[in-house]
Structure 1
């Protein structure tokens, strides 16, 4: 990738600036300013998140904000209250306090001599979420945002629940947040008070996975911060960006449909990552695209970006499943409106072990999946590491009820959300249904195109679940993730239905048999006809970035992903291990300009017996290191979830060391009712 070192504007970097909040708490920010901005004010771009601007995200912050400053924008990277070097305590994600602080920060920015009064927000993941949430607060200076890999619905499309099923990502992300929330401020920034603030963080830390599991339904807790509750609250311009390999991609079509403000959408083949560096590619010149967006909305330059089609996506094509792909074949396509009136539904019927364009006489087939169906499903949201994308689906297909079409006689292209309309019954009051849409190549390899899951007690609503009546027949739509995909001539459509999907979702409390009524159940695909104008779409520029800080990798662990089966007990153990930071691919690295050695690793272990869902156990172990001279801090966090028929048990141990001496230890052991999970 091209590294730009010479820009239209010189760049001045201010390592730390304190931004006061209305209650007197100070938040810590790092600034990149165009040279001379105090005499010739410029618009500002704010990125606001808890991931430690001083160290954890330093290697990704510098190339982005240096690039913006070099093109005439003040870049501000702000630590959320209670994180990094900011004062205060962070008690949960996306609190009203966090939004209040953002409003205060934007007001402070507009009153600085280097700011001309116009502000944008940018963010990926957490900072993508709060960009939407702050936009809904309508601070007058906020003119536009770029939100990446985020969601408009914190219950239905975040890392906690999917289709009313508990995601194991709830533990994985909650454990990462739990560990992050215990990290100290940097003494070089905070001064003598760093240890007192660190102790406060340790003592006030919360077992976040258990907190979120106490809200298994879509209640007021999740409605807060979900901008889908009132799309009209957002009036500034929104550029929503994401990737088909990310867990949050469904929010982008919903935002495009729900918002009435100026808006654009861009969806690539990318995972939970910036489009200029994402794997799989193609990678694009996203920093240039962002500058075009800011130039239009913050500087008033009519550069044509809003004359282009508002919805642009990478239409994926077949590639043989593999642990990692550097690029995903396909092409860019666009729609002039979303929802697009050009896209029409087309039906296939689930007949007895086949998928036909006409229904056969009604019949019934049954599925009771082993608890290990899903081992080839990849992660809820990948980051581009080996094995986090779905692998060849044939092993999981063998544990599912499968419906195959005849080989296609022509290319079939879709854009949108497939829906499988099922008529079914179950033999237990709590049951999950998992539906995958696969592309089967002539040689037999099966690639997952999209999938959806539903806790059938949520068949009528996520707010008020209802137990199933065993044996009663229900009509249930299961919406799959949005996708743009081209099925090639000669390939086969496959619908695979299972009752489990481990380790992505926590299993129902009992093994379940589901009866699918064939002839009455059907697949509905959003078929997109070719659009000749796609050939004239403006090409993205090649990826480039600003310079990054000098750093030295000290320990490389790679990324490990293993599945072990104990043939004497039928226990399957799924384990991943790797670095979870952004330290240039290292588990331990030295950041030279701040003379800091920084390390982070995470081991995730998921255990289950093939036949017994109550043997499920998920464990996360994390280690974090900060070292500079005599300053030596280490944190270790271990979290776990198990369950019986009625309750979850969530446990944790947090330990902290300074200079080799343990200065903090605490254990948590919480019981959470399952409430139809």
Structure 2
């Protein structure tokens, strides 16, 4: 089917603001209206994630859909300012956009909404507002809880990715609009946006518990608000996976879920592989709910999840071996807990540990084998051999398994615990140990022990006081093979993933039990019936790679000062894309970013995170560049954040912003 593309249209809002959009239309849509699919994100329709998203929208348009990619208020060429993530204003604007789309003469009045990450978040949030024209959503790598499962906090601990993502947002939102679209006032609009930029990482750090700030936009507050059908997609290597089982369990609207082996990459580009025909699955979803065709997608199992086999614990993994599993309902009646006890001899098995008390105080650099919090399909980002961290943890192992054991869901660790300081962390990893000793991480969780009774009302621990502790690990799907061993490791730090507690802590534990979500073999026939088509792609974005870029990731120990250093350095392409020119708009895009995290093993207050970044876009005669530097340190009572941003046009400085924030630690 022939497709017509409008590279720029304006969508007017009731308050006079205009949102910029790009439109893909089947050629005959003016004569024969079609349903529409909306993607609504702040990443800029003209460049941003264009290379990723343009082929997808082109494919859907070839299948008989109008596709609309909209720059949110304050981003790209749209009017206004973007003051934060997931604001009510963002949702309100989306309601107007959906109504506008439904009223166009090329639309049947039926609208679907889809997106990944930010776009997946607002699919859920807008669905909860129930716009009449929104008939279904497809949410990829998103969450129902903005506090527990986003890029700022995990288990009540501060993620170092809070500074990473906040810094990227500074560069993203400081980019200029294109003069040929906005007109002669483009420079004034650009400088206005820079002047209005919030200091994103500090803004998020100001809310260290699950308060009203995070509850807004967390659809878990009332799942019943969502009435339209939901297809939720996750990946085991991605950080946004736990929401898929929760949505399947708690939503009452028609729903389906897919979890593959992927990182933060659409499944038709899936990395690690295997990739699947995600675009074909999406069309089945849209055809069913937007066109009224019986595509049999609702006859599919409620959850289709990939069960991984053991794979080498290398930083780079192109593909993960395994198989697909089918669950007709979630929670599944075919999954029951397998209880293993943490024994005094450091075994993991049927006999309990008695009254033995075991203690651990991890070095502050414990966690170097943890990989990135969010896998994005880049080299070097995966967890490495867990033996690297084993010396800084309490380790418990089963004997070699005589039979295979499949798990699917969230492992739970229950124990009695005590700490010697009021604020402390616990870190648990579950690994698959091969006969040759290599240990591949299967799941993990970090926990701020002051949040033991919930994230809304943390309480300091009473030193030496014993308490019951349950740690719910991330959802996972894995097969432990015969001859392999299961390993649990427990530590008190996880650098560089989380910021350390203010004092080094000794964790005491006893009466530990691991509950694994063991899956029966009763679904073997249904499992075997799962089949996805091979990946399809739409027309690619015309582009020229000017430089493939490079990515370096390494850790090093200074044996003189005792400093441990962890560095990621992406030159030319933060997510491995390199430097490229978008041929259709003659625009070059180059994004470089370096993270430098240091800590001394005996001093949590030595933690330091420095991030430098540059983002260049434009063409000959009009090149713009954003340069940022952000830094975070802390003392026992406060976090300290500083930031600088400079903007350049054709090498000439045109704007600068400086920030310095001192934020009290809230049992963090």
Asked if TM exceeds 0.5, the reply is yes
Indicate if the aligned counterparts of 2:609 and 2:631 stay in contact, CA closer than 8 A: yes
1:67 maps to which of 59, 82, 90: 59
Q: CA deviation at 1:535?
A: 4.4
Q: CA deviation at 1:534?
A: 2.9
The aligned counterpart of 1:631 is 622
Distance in 2, matches of 1:241 and 1:254, equals 12
The aligned counterpart of 1:283 is 275
Distance in 2, matches of 1:532 and 1:405, equals 26
1:400-415 map, 5 Å: 400-415=393-408
Indicate if the aligned counterparts of 2:227 and 2:253 stay in contact, CA closer than 8 A: yes
Indicate if the aligned counterparts of 2:148 and 2:155 stay in contact, CA closer than 8 A: yes
Q: Is residue 94 of structure 1 aligned with residue 86 of structure 2? A: yes
Q: Is residue 473 of structure 1 aligned with residue 466 of structure 2? A: yes
1:179 maps to which of 171, 179, 182: 171
Distance in 2, matches of 1:565 and 1:359, equals 38
The aligned counterpart of 1:122 is 114
Q: CA deviation at 1:36?
A: 1.3
Q: Is residue 270 of structure 1 aligned with residue 262 of structure 2? A: yes
Q: CA deviation at 1:140?
A: 0.4
Distance in 1, matches of 2:532 and 2:93, equals 35
2:205 maps to which of 202, 213, 236: 213
Deviating more after overlay: 568-577 vs 530-539: 530-539
Q: CA deviation at 1:406?
A: 1.1
Distance in 2, matches of 1:244 and 1:399, equals 25
Distance in 2, matches of 1:370 and 1:206, equals 35
Aligned length, in residue pairs? 666
Q: CA deviation at 1:81?
A: 0.6
Q: Is residue 601 of structure 1 aligned with residue 621 of structure 2? A: no
Q: Is residue 383 of structure 1 aligned with residue 376 of structure 2? A: yes
The aligned counterpart of 2:103 is 111
Distance in 1, matches of 2:249 and 2:571, equals 38
Partner secondary structure for residue 423 of structure 1: strand
Distance in 2, matches of 1:620 and 1:365, equals 38
Distance in 1, matches of 2:291 and 2:572, equals 37
2:358 maps to which of 333, 349, 365: 365
1:55 maps to which of 47, 59, 63: 47
Distance in 1, matches of 2:360 and 2:650, equals 56
Q: Is residue 484 of structure 1 aligned with residue 477 of structure 2? A: yes
Query: Per-residue CA shift, 1:413-469, capped at 9, x if unaligned?
Result: 111000000211101000000000111111100110100111000001100000000
Q: CA deviation at 1:627?
A: 2.1
1:204 maps to which of 178, 193, 196: 196
Gaps of 5+ in 1: 1-8
The aligned counterpart of 1:327 is 319
The aligned counterpart of 1:462 is 455
Q: Is residue 148 of structure 1 aligned with residue 134 of structure 2? A: no
Q: CA deviation at 1:363?
A: 0.6
Distance in 2, matches of 1:336 and 1:328, equals 24
1:669 maps to which of 650, 657, 660: 660
Q: CA deviation at 1:617?
A: 0.7
1:433-582 map, 5 Å: 433-517=426-510, 520-530=511-521, 531-578=523-570
Change (3 A) 1:528 1:513: same
Change (3 A) 1:218 1:412: same
Query: Per-residue CA shift, 1:222-263, capped at 9, x if unaligned?
Result: 000000001000011000001011111000000001100000
Which stretches of structure 1, 4 residues or more, deviate above 4 A after TM superposition?
A: 579-583
The aligned counterpart of 2:38 is 46
Q: CA deviation at 1:360?
A: 3.5
Indicate if the aligned counterparts of 1:555 and 1:586 stay in contact, CA closer than 8 A: no
Partner secondary structure for residue 641 of structure 2: strand
Q: Is residue 655 of structure 1 aligned with residue 655 of structure 2? A: no
Distance in 1, matches of 2:453 and 2:353, equals 28
Distance in 2, matches of 1:371 and 1:390, equals 18
Partner secondary structure for residue 137 of structure 1: coil
Indicate if the aligned counterparts of 1:579 and 1:586 stay in contact, CA closer than 8 A: no
Indicate if the aligned counterparts of 2:640 and 2:660 stay in contact, CA closer than 8 A: yes
Indicate if the aligned counterparts of 1:589 and 1:597 stay in contact, CA closer than 8 A: yes
Indicate if the aligned counterparts of 2:326 and 2:530 stay in contact, CA closer than 8 A: no
Change (3 A) 1:231 1:11: same
Change (3 A) 1:10 1:259: same
Partner secondary structure for residue 154 of structure 1: coil
Q: Is residue 622 of structure 1 aligned with residue 616 of structure 2? A: no
Distance in 2, matches of 1:652 and 1:186, equals 26
Indicate if the aligned counterparts of 2:574 and 2:592 stay in contact, CA closer than 8 A: no
Q: CA deviation at 1:582?
A: 8.3
Distance in 1, matches of 2:403 and 2:261, equals 23
Distance in 1, matches of 2:130 and 2:16, equals 23
Partner secondary structure for residue 593 of structure 1: coil
Change (3 A) 1:84 1:582: farther
Partner secondary structure for residue 476 of structure 1: strand
Q: Is residue 252 of structure 1 aligned with residue 247 of structure 2? A: no
Q: CA deviation at 1:581?
A: 5.3
Q: CA deviation at 1:405?
A: 1.1
Distance in 1, matches of 2:379 and 2:53, equals 24
Indicate if the aligned counterparts of 2:74 and 2:82 stay in contact, CA closer than 8 A: yes
Gaps of 5+ in 2: none
Indicate if the aligned counterparts of 1:578 and 1:587 stay in contact, CA closer than 8 A: no
Q: Is residue 643 of structure 1 aligned with residue 634 of structure 2? A: yes
The aligned counterpart of 1:137 is 129
Distance in 1, matches of 2:572 and 2:505, equals 36
Indicate if the aligned counterparts of 1:56 and 1:582 stay in contact, CA closer than 8 A: no
1:161-172 map, 5 Å: 161-172=153-164
Partner secondary structure for residue 198 of structure 1: helix
Partner secondary structure for residue 150 of structure 2: coil
Deviating more after overlay: 532-541 vs 338-347: 532-541
Distance in 1, matches of 2:74 and 2:622, equals 21
